Amino acid sequence: MTLPLPFPPRPALVNRRSLWLLLALLALLWSLAQAGVGQRDTVLINGGGWGQFGEFWRASLSPSLDPEFLGVMGQATLVTLAYGVCGTTLSLILGLGGGIVTSTIWWQTVLPPSAQGWDWGRSLGLGVRGVLLLPRVIHELIWGLLLLNILGLDPLVAVLAIALPFGAIVAKVFSEILDHTDPKPLHGLIQAGVPPLTAFLYGLLPQALPNLLSYAFYRFECSLRSAAVLGVIGAGGLGYEIRLSLQSLDYPEIWTGFYALMLLTGTVDLWSGGVRRQMGCMNRLDLNRLNSNRPDLNRLDPNTQNLPRAIDPLPTGNPDSGNPDSGLKGANIEVTRVKGPPQTPWGLRLSWGAMALAVPLSFWALDLDWSRLVSDRSRRLLGEMVIAAIPPWPDGETLGRLLHLSSLTLALSILAIALAGVGGIILSFPAAQTCVLPGGWLRPLAGGPHQPWPWGALALLWGSRLLLLLSRAIPAPIWALVFLFVLFPGILPGAIALGVHNLGILGRLMAEVNENLDDRPARSLHALGAGPLQVLLYGILPQNLGRFVAYGLYRWEVCLRETVIVGLVGAGGLGRLMTEQLSSFDYGGLTLTLICFGLLSWGVDWLSHQIRSPLA
């Protein structure tokens, strides 16, 4: 007699996750109050700006198609692409080295802790991480303004402004990837007598390489968006041309620039997605897995169940038949023929060749003058800036102002990530191929093979993807200027602008999670008669909600950094103060603001890690 399996116990109503949820709701209500929502004495909407707001959107149907202007935009697109390629290349070089020396597994390999004594490896790793915290929290726009005062108006400013902060960000993510890669092969090689460095190169890096490359493609897309933002300070490219059109309020030309950005971003997105699929890296980065324990090697990944066999049994037969492989039938030996290594797809070869060609061409096209870094003028200006950056001892009024602006910055980032997270989750389902298309979770194939062409489903799919592409292709400062037509200056237009921009990024990342989800629970529910909403709530969301939250928390850290760029257009918070200090050359005050911003970023980073831990 087989006893039925007992149902798992229902989790307690009050647990760690419910407490975090309650804290998030309270933080959202507090942020709305900081933005003035619901307060009678605060006027948020500017009724006189609806005319310009409507004119701006009507211009999207009639962009400027002047041949001369199109030529200018084409050249600007190539400049933006070159900035992205050069900035990504340098950031990956810096990030790979920084990621290795900040990873715990590296120091455990080269300086293993002794039974007695100080753990020098861990101390060195924490020290390097502390050094990399400063360039990571400073936004690339601030880096650009600082470098502009030292190097002048030169393409090197834009490249370094992307490479320095992104190199620190890449180092942080790469170190997490290395630390959460299975160390058994590495330990086995070390125990076999292999030198630590060789064991690290052959036992750990090959396993982490797919995740490293996948995140590198994502960072390239981020570099393109940052290159467009740096055009605001005169670095050239699409951002600079859009800025000139904004100053003259030429909306058709602005939309031409927007469409050029969408074309560039969409092309890179499609290309990187194709390369990752051919490499077997379906997601850019599984953040939820990086915050979990070591991967279980005994569990078979369902994506590997259909891999081709590496060996085939040889035929058996009569030894007198002339077949050299015959005569083994009665020997109880299974002879196998080992196949050669799998052939690299031609598309992947073409992509690697294009990347190898694009890097030197981009550096050549920008004609970077590296001698500026060591010129007498640059060293003199850098020395003067370092001396001027020594902060004065803050008084009570200064500390109170920094504390108030820090609270506004935190509220701005919470509102932005709440809007981006909710909107990204909603749009991620119609933007996923596995959702509404025939054969997906919500529309399993039924009937004969002759099915009507799914025009409605295709329109929903591509409409959602175009909406996500538009929202992430347009830089956040531009969105802030658009919403300032109908909203008065404050943190609300900045939060909406950051939310709309990050909605496109999160929606695309979440759509990829949906497309690579195990669909067996959803199909089982559909076979039992569940409706589409029930399939979504009980078959899909329980699987991917943890990853959605992990992506949202990661983007929250990014949103906090991006509050600086919406501060340029009067969104408030520490970003606006930084802009004022830079314009008045108040480097001492800027140092205090950066210290305050760094502490705030560190707190958000720590809180994000604490929330993600129980979700893994």
User: What is the structure's pLDDT at 313?
Assistant: 38
- Give yes or no for residue 229 having a pLDDT over 60: yes
Provide the H-helix boundaries in 231-345: 238-247, 251-279, 287-290
pLDDT number for residue 318: 43
The pLDDT score that the predictor gives to residue 614 is: 62
- How many whole angstroms from its chain centre is CA 287? 10
**Taking the mean position of all CA atoms in its chain, how far away is CA 349?**
25
Q: How far apart are CA 286 and CA 509, in angstroms?
A: 10
- Give me the amino acid identity at 391: P
Is pLDDT of 502 > 70? Answer: yes
Tell me the HSE value of 451 on the side-chain side, using a 13 A CA sphere: 14
**Percent composition of the chain: helix, strand, coil (DSSP 3-state, to 5):** 70, 0, 25
**Range with the lowest mean pLDDT among 187-196, 285-294, 323-332?**
323-332
What pLDDT score does 4 carry?
A: 59
CA 490 from chain centre, in angstroms, equals: 27
Rounded Cα distance between 70 and 369, Å, is: 29
Q: State yes or no: pLDDT of 292 exceeds 80.
A: no
Work out the pLDDT band at 615, boundaries 50, 70, 90: low
- At 312, is the pLDDT very low, low, confident or very high (cuts 50, 70, 90)? very low
DSSP secondary structure, 29-63, as one string: HHHHHHTTTT-TT---B-GGGHHHHHHHHHGGGS-
User: CA-to-CA distance for 452 and 345, rounded, in angstroms?
Assistant: 33
Q: Name 119's Cβ contacts closer than 8 Å, sequence gap at least 6.
A: 113
Q: How confident is the model at residue 182 (pLDDT cuts 50, 70, 90)?
A: confident
The tokens for 367 are: 């004609």
* CA angle at 551 for the pair 548 and 553, rounded to the nearest 5°: 110
| pLDDT band at residue 441 using 50, 70 and 90 as cut-offs | low
Mean pLDDT of the chain: 81
pLDDT of 293 higher than 70:
no
Return d(Cα 352, Cα 363) in angstroms, integer.
17
Name the amino acid, one letter, at 333: I
Distances (CA, A) of 602 to 53, 133, 341, 552: 38, 8, 46, 17
Q: Which of 205-219, 341-355, 438-452, 477-491 has the lowest mean pLDDT?
A: 438-452
Q: Which residue has the tokens 């990530």?
A: 417
pLDDT band at 235 (very low <50, low <70, confident <90, very high): confident
Mean pLDDT, residues 337-357 taken together:
73
Q: Which residues contact 389 (CB under 8 A, 6 or more apart)?
A: 587, 588, 590, 591
**Quick check: 72 pLDDT over 90?**
yes
**Nearest CA among 78, 133, 127, 118 for reference residue 597:** 133
> 0.85 exceeded by the pTM?
no
Phi-psi region of 357 (alpha: psi -120 to 50; beta: other; left: phi over 0): alpha
- Measured distance CA(105)–CA(176) in Å, rounded: 10
Burial class (CB in 10 A: 0-12, 13-18, 19+), 607: middle
Instruction: Name the pairing type of β-strands 336-338 and 311-313.
Output: antiparallel
**pLDDT score, position 249:** 86
Q: Of 298-302, 341-345, 358-362, which has the strongest mean pLDDT?
A: 358-362
In this prediction, residue 18 carries a pLDDT of 79
Q: How far apart are CA 143 and CA 182, in angstroms?
A: 36
Q: Which of 276, 265, 261 is nearest to 515 (CA)?
A: 276
- SS3 assignment for 307-332: CCCCEEECCCCCCCCCCCCCCCHHHC
pLDDT class of 443 with cuts at 50, 70, 90: low
pLDDT of residue 154: 87
Note the pLDDT of residue 305. Answer: 36
Instruction: Inform me whether the pLDDT recorded for 29 exceeds 60.
Output: yes
Contacts of 14 (CB under 8 A, 6+ apart): none
